[in-house]
Structure 1
Amino acid sequence: MGIGLHNSEFKNPVIRWVDQRLPVFTMMQKEYGTFPTPKNFNYFWNFGALAMVTLMVMILTGVFLAMNYTAHTSMAFDSVERIMRDVNYGWLLRYIHMNGASMFFIVVYTHIFRGMYYGSYKAPRELLWMTGVVIFLLMMATAFMGYVLPWGQMSFWGATVITNLFSAFPIIGDSIVTWLWGGFSVDNPTLNRFFSLHYLLPFVIAGVVFLHIAALHITGSNNPLGVEPKGPQDTIPFHPYYTIKDSFGLVIYFVVFAVLVFFIPNYLGHPDNYIPANPLVTPPHIVPEWYFLPFYAILRAVPDKLGGVLMMFGSIALLFVLPWLDGSPVRSMRFRPLARPFFLLWVVAVVVLGYVGGKPAEEPFVTISRFAAAYYFAYFLVILPLLARIERPLPLPESISRPVLRGGGPLPAGAAAKPMEKA
């Protein structure tokens, strides 16, 4: 081997030749082949891989759609219709991209739920969690701008209402709105800059995903028990065990995705968006896409405009500081009998907010949204800090292997955790 060449262990001469000069195959083998992972992952751990695959699908379909889209207010709606009717398989590309946004959020919301339930945000994984929240924020910005591009009635009025929220900030609010619009109303400059940013941000998301995975491989994965691996007996190589498990989950995921695309492609959309944008006709009920509805409900729950905007942004900001709001040393809710029902009630509150966010701003929906929003914030600011002081968690197992071999689950209350006996 020449001086300075990497010592590659691959037997294939072509792969070895490349790997000696650019050790990408060694890196992939280390990070995705022999990388030690806890042996007790359940199927909730599939959703990280599903999110990455969905991001790739969204980028690919978005690139091909951009080849046929015209970012001009007089032609945007017609260019989308042309994609649907005249471009070869344009209807398929658009339906995959359109429903892929919903599938992306379903996967990411499940991923967040798993992280919160099993305490994946706790030390030493705080930065891993925070980069995930950054990805979530970038997804929201990308999805909002993408929803404007078809230039239908809901696209136009949704953009008008949401961008106008920034006018609630004193002194700088109106300047921010004018900067977002590129003028004094939602018009062609707005559509142009939203299209540019919608095209760019997925690549930014991909960059942050790289950081997210790098942080994951530094700290290692959490697991359903929330107990750190004690040695080789607690881990297995990522390949082939979890590549097979992820592949099975991916097949099920694509079956659901295909049902949505081929049988009910417009189920999660709004019919008003098939009407060309008209600044002179306001839709009777302006709503954002379903994945924004919980935050939209929090916004409407506060009678003051500025207060509603601050509460809406605060509901997401709380996720950033969650590692420091929950002071319990125990990660997994499986060992926290008091915290578990409060968390599940929080999930119910988020679902309720999503439901009332899609309803008109009238009673009883406004009152329901206020109660649900109050519990949303109370869970982070009051309940979690209080439970860290008063809760008595169940005994933790000393290693991952013993509960796995015994069938899983927490030990009975009062039972001592013993090390696994040698076979």
Structure 2
Amino acid sequence: MATGLHKSDFQNPVIRWVDARLPVFTMMQKEYGTFPTPRNFNYFWNFGALAMVNLVIMIATGIFLAMNYTAHTGMAFDSVERIMRDVNYGWLLRYAHANGASMFFIVVYIHIFRGLYYGSYKAPRELLWMIGVVIFLLMMATAFMGYVLPWGQMSFWGATVITNLFSAFPLVGESIVTWLWGGFSVDNPTLNRFFSLHYLMPFVIFGVVFLHVAALHITGSNNPLGIDPKGPQDTVPFHPYYTAKDSVGLVVYFIVFAVLVFFFPNLLGHADNYIPANPLVTPPHIVPEWYFLPFYAILRAVPDKLGGVLLMFGSIAILFVLPWLDTSPVRSMRFRPLARPFFAVWCLCFLVLLYVGGKPPEEPFVTIARVATAYYFLYFLVILPLLGRLERPLPLPESIARPVLRGGGPLPAGAMSKPMEKA
């Protein structure tokens, strides 16, 4: 009997027949079954899997919504209302998609903050981190274009304000804005372009996520201690240990998601978006969705338009070079007592920017935004590089297994390695 190059070890005859010809099951078993994973993950490591689940939800609900949406300025608002009122379970699809965007950003923000705290951007995971930043940028672009589609007041004026920011760039700014609009104002060509791109971008994100996971499985996962596994005693197979742990996180995630969708579906939206877009009536206070507010606050903190735009984009671009800005040889802040309070203040400043971004551009909010913006950049450009040279980290454990087997308690002096051991 003829056999191929790959011999499948699965017992089920159907799976074995398919796997011998297309070894997808072997690949899944290798990457998500027996894949060695640090044995000390905490629940912050659930959020990567939750982000993937959230992406699938957004794609699935978005496909069904697109079947009933009309990308025309004269009919877009009414088509969304028809989805809510006349399409079977259209209200559920729309609320799940709208609140799914908020849940997506909540999950991703926690995922990013976890990476910042535990040093997941350090060698050898620099490219993994940079791909993650690309995913974040694609998410922001997709969410912005999706916010325009309901064609309410905040959709129209948000699109007008944000796209006009590109006019600040010398020479090419006006041409970029005209290209984005498809004309000389936010109108039907703009809506068509945004709808087409909004439908396409999640599939692009899915492809980049595939690269993100592939890079992760090459370098291996970081862990709360920030030290590399020293042997088999430091790892466990991904399944069933972390599939069970991820399942617990998934149940909690769906409970929160369900409460948001069924009880508070408009909690994170803006009331003005239930008013049809009117180019002749400007809302008293134009704000983007909540997950853009920290960057919107940075934009408004600078009186110069071009300076504000550059700082807004720079606040994300700086994450690309973070692996080289942090000069400490130790990954996890669990062993960096001096870095922890500075990071806590940075997180506080991010939340402050989130708050003041939703407030009118008046005092004291403008001054608060400027102080928080200054610390945001000071942390990355000054504090982290200096801490790497001045800070004396705590001693690192010899292995992952030692503190795990001791129940996470303090280690004896003999179980410590040198303080500045390369993590």
Q: Is the 8 A contact 1:328 1:388 kept in 2?
A: yes
| Matched AA of 1:187 | D
Q: Equivalent residue for 1:417?
A: 415
Q: Secondary structure at the match of 1:345?
A: helix
In structure 1, the gaps of 5 or more residues are: none
| Matched AA of 1:278 | N
Mapped partners of 1:370, 1:10: distance in 2: 60
Paired residues, number: 417
Identity %: 87
Mapped partners of 2:410, 2:327: distance in 1: 21
Q: Is the 8 A contact 1:294 1:354 kept in 2?
A: yes
Q: Equivalent residue for 1:107?
A: 107
Mapped partners of 2:400, 2:5: distance in 1: 40
Is 1:323 matched with 2:323? Answer: yes
Is 1:193 matched with 2:193? Answer: yes
Q: Secondary structure at the match of 1:253?
A: helix
Q: Equivalent residue for 1:88?
A: 88
| Matched AA of 1:46 | N
Mapped partners of 1:61, 1:298: distance in 2: 32
Q: Secondary structure at the match of 1:7?
A: coil
Mapped partners of 2:217, 2:194: distance in 1: 34
How far 1:416 moved relative to its partner? 4.2
- Tell me the TM-score normalised to structure 1 length: 0.97
Mapped partners of 1:2, 1:280: distance in 2: 74
Q: Equivalent residue for 1:15?
A: 15
RMSD value over aligned CA atoms? 1.0
- Tell me the TM-score normalised to structure 2 length: 0.97
- C-alpha change, 1:381 and 1:224, in structure 2 (3 Å) is same
- C-alpha change, 1:80 and 1:232, in structure 2 (3 Å) is same
Is 1:285 matched with 2:303? Answer: no
Q: Secondary structure at the match of 1:44?
A: helix
Mapped partners of 2:407, 2:237: distance in 1: 21
Q: Secondary structure at the match of 2:276?
A: coil
| Matched AA of 2:189 | P
How far 1:418 moved relative to its partner? 4.8
How far 1:17 moved relative to its partner? 0.2
Q: Equivalent residue for 2:174?
A: 174
Q: Is the 8 A contact 2:396 2:416 kept in 1?
A: no
Q: Secondary structure at the match of 1:319?
A: coil
Q: Equivalent residue for 2:421?
A: none
Cα deviation digits, residues 173-209 of structure 1 (max 9, x gap): 0000000000000000000000000000000000000
Is 1:276 matched with 2:276? Answer: yes
Is 1:364 matched with 2:368? Answer: no
Q: Equivalent residue for 2:141?
A: 141
- Of stretches 2-11 and 362-371 in structure 1, the one that deviates more from structure 2 is 2-11
| Matched AA of 1:241 | Y
| Matched AA of 2:19 | D
How far 1:6 moved relative to its partner? 1.1
Q: Is the 8 A contact 2:395 2:416 kept in 1?
A: no
In structure 2, the gaps of 5 or more residues are: 418-423
Q: Equivalent residue for 1:309?
A: 309
Q: Is the 8 A contact 1:395 1:417 kept in 2?
A: no
Q: Equivalent residue for 1:397?
A: 397
- C-alpha change, 1:273 and 1:381, in structure 2 (3 Å) is same
Cα deviation digits, residues 28-79 of structure 1 (max 9, x gap): 0000000000000000000000000000000000000000000000000000
Q: Equivalent residue for 2:420?
A: none
Q: Is the 8 A contact 1:296 1:312 kept in 2?
A: yes
